[in-house]
Amino acid sequence: MKKNKKVNAAILIIGNEILSGRTQDKNVAFITNWLNIKCGISVGEVRIIPDVEKVIVNNILILKKKFNYIFTTGGIGPTHDDITAKSISKAFKVKYEYHKEAFKILENYYGRSKFNDGRKKMAKMPRGSKLIYNPSSAAPGFVFNKVISLPGVPSILNSMIENCKKYLIKGSKVHSKTLNLFTVESNISKQLGFIQKKYKKSVDIGSYPFFRLGKIGVSIVSRSTSKIKLQYVNRDLIKLVKVKKIEILKI
């Protein structure tokens, strides 16, 4: 994994089952966390779209202009609604064809007699793709241009994610610090705004209400590539907490 300063990614969740509300997506949180913590890559946008070729192609073309990487999930299985690999080939105007190594992996996994057309389809990718090995169910994902295509089933995706690392440029790690306060947002919103303004170029401060132990609270989350700036923000926050006599929730 190479190293670079600012690296970002988009996630494209492809699947009618998420858009219909049938399935609760779990891949966004998993991938964003992994990219943040392990690769220093921040996710700038997520889109959930249906299994429609034109829609997939358009989204790939738009997102590739804005981000270093596009992670896709879903649509690389054996059935008629699995059209991700074909659509990516179309977006980049390259041939959609059998990947020799993927074909061998799958033929070996299923045995020649059970290697039917549906299973063979899982070896078809944009010409020139590199494989992302799949330790749990053999069918590989692929990397083509700046697109990283993974399956939609979370357990399988999770087992494959480490195999994406070698294809990624590493960014500066984003550190975060959380302060959990027993107060309400509007009690501190003005001062929080001042602190955010003071560090607006280096630290991103968010405030998120919570309910815990029967009490209302707010999590103040500061995020930055600079540990020192995070400490400065924390110092200002602690001052604010003392002035307002707010109780801190220790975890």
Contacts to a copy of itself by CB under 8 A: 13, 15-26, 28-36, 42-51, 55, 77-81, 116-119, 121-122, 153, 155, 174, 176, 185-190, 192-193, 196-197, 204-209, 211, 221, 223
Nearer to a copy of itself by Cβ, of 45 and 101: the residue is 45
Nearer to a copy of itself by Cβ, of 78 and 128: the residue is 78
Q: How far apart are CA 57 and CA 88, in angstroms?
A: 6
Residue 160: CB minimum distance to a copy of itself, A: 15
CA-CA distances (angstroms) from residue 234 to 47, 65, 172, 178, 206?
33, 36, 21, 9, 13
Nearer to a copy of itself by Cβ, of 77 and 126: the residue is 77
Contacts of 39 (CB under 8 A, 6+ apart): 1, 7, 165, 168, 170, 171
Helix ranges, 1-83 (H)? 16-19, 27-34, 53-66
Nearer to a copy of itself by Cβ, of 1 and 29: the residue is 29
Residue 140: CB minimum distance to a copy of itself, A: 15
Determine contact, residues 9/68, Cβ cutoff 8 Å.
yes
Residue 18: CB minimum distance to a copy of itself, A: 7
Nearer to a copy of itself by Cβ, of 20 and 113: the residue is 20
Q: How far apart are CA 76 and CA 229, in angstroms?
A: 43
Determine contact, residues 138/60, Cβ cutoff 8 Å.
no
Nearest to 161 by CA among 68, 36, 17, 56: 36
Nearer to a copy of itself by Cβ, of 64 and 223: the residue is 223
Residue 106: CB minimum distance to a copy of itself, A: 10
Residue 151: CB minimum distance to a copy of itself, A: 9
Contacts of 178 (CB under 8 A, 6+ apart): 219, 220, 221, 222
Nearer to a copy of itself by Cβ, of 24 and 242: the residue is 24
Kindly report the backbone phi and psi dihedral angles of residue 4, in degrees, each rounded to the nearest multiple of 5, phi listed first: -145, 175
Residue 91: CB minimum distance to a copy of itself, A: 17
User: Cβ-count burial of 225 within 10 angstroms (0-12 exposed, 13-18 middle, 19+ buried)?
Assistant: middle
Residue 34: CB minimum distance to a copy of itself, A: 8
